[in-house]
Amino acid sequence: MLLFLQRAAVCILIFLFLFTELRAEEGFYWNLAEALQNPSKVRVLGLAHQPLTSLPKEIRQLQTLEWLNLGYSELTSLPKEIGQLQNLQELNLWANQLASLPMEIGQLQNLQTLDLGDNQLTSIPKKIGQLQNLQRLNLGGNQLSSLPMEIGQLQNLQILDLGDNRLTSLPKEIGQLKNLQELNLGVTN
């Protein structure tokens, strides 16, 4: 239920952003080419529902980026340069075609929300345990049969969605997640 409310809130925000005519000077961009022309100004980049199969390596130039929405695109991979977005707080990769993640995802030290739901992920890099500020992690709707024990290092994690995967067991380190408030394990195959 909480994930549904979060997604609804994101959709409302996107709607408000699109229809209140936010100017690029304010740091809100809806076009990758324009964002890359003004990299130091970009705080929010909304690329949801765009036919992107990959991101250019130049994404690393967006050093002030805090919120990146790539949901419902056609991404099949992420460049390792994604790890250079040190100010990124929210990364939405919901409903893409990702089968794996670069290890560099663990370098996103300010990341608070990582939404990887409804992809094709079969594994999660061990480096995920380095995301010490992560509060919300959605891995639901993937092909995961196991999780790395490093998931237990996510001490600030409050919400973990593992529903609709192929998990038959969880690492005991899940018990170390003292701030976990919500764990979804629904409909695992």
CATH domain 2-184 topology: 3.80.10
15-19, 24-28, 111-115, 181-185: range with lowest mean pLDDT: 15-19
Please, which pLDDT band fits residue 187 given cuts at 50, 70 and 90?
confident
Residues 76 and 96: their CA atoms lie apart, in Å, by 7
Return the H-helix or E-strand segment holding 69: strand 67-69
User: Pick from 100, 101, 162, 152: which is nearest to 131 by CA?
Assistant: 152
β-sheet bridge partners, residue 90:
67, 113
- Which spans in the chain are helix H? 2-19, 32-37
pTM: 0.87
Residue 112 CB contacts under 8 Å (≥ 6 apart), including other chains: 89, 90, 133, 134, 135, 136
Interacting residues of 19 by C-beta distance below 8 A, sequence separation 6+ = none
Going by pLDDT thresholds of 50, 70 and 90, the confidence category of residue 4 is low
> How does the average pLDDT of the chain come out, rounded?
92
Would you state the pLDDT for residue 11? 59
Predicted local confidence at residue 8, as pLDDT? 58
Average pLDDT of span 97-108: 98
Residue 59 has pLDDT above 70, yes or no: yes
Q: Strands 182-184, 159-161: parallel, antiparallel or unpaired by DSSP?
A: parallel
In DSSP terms, 160 is beta-bridged to 137, 183
Structure tokens at 18: 């699109």
The amino acid sitting at 148 is P
Quote the tokens at residue 169: 């067991």
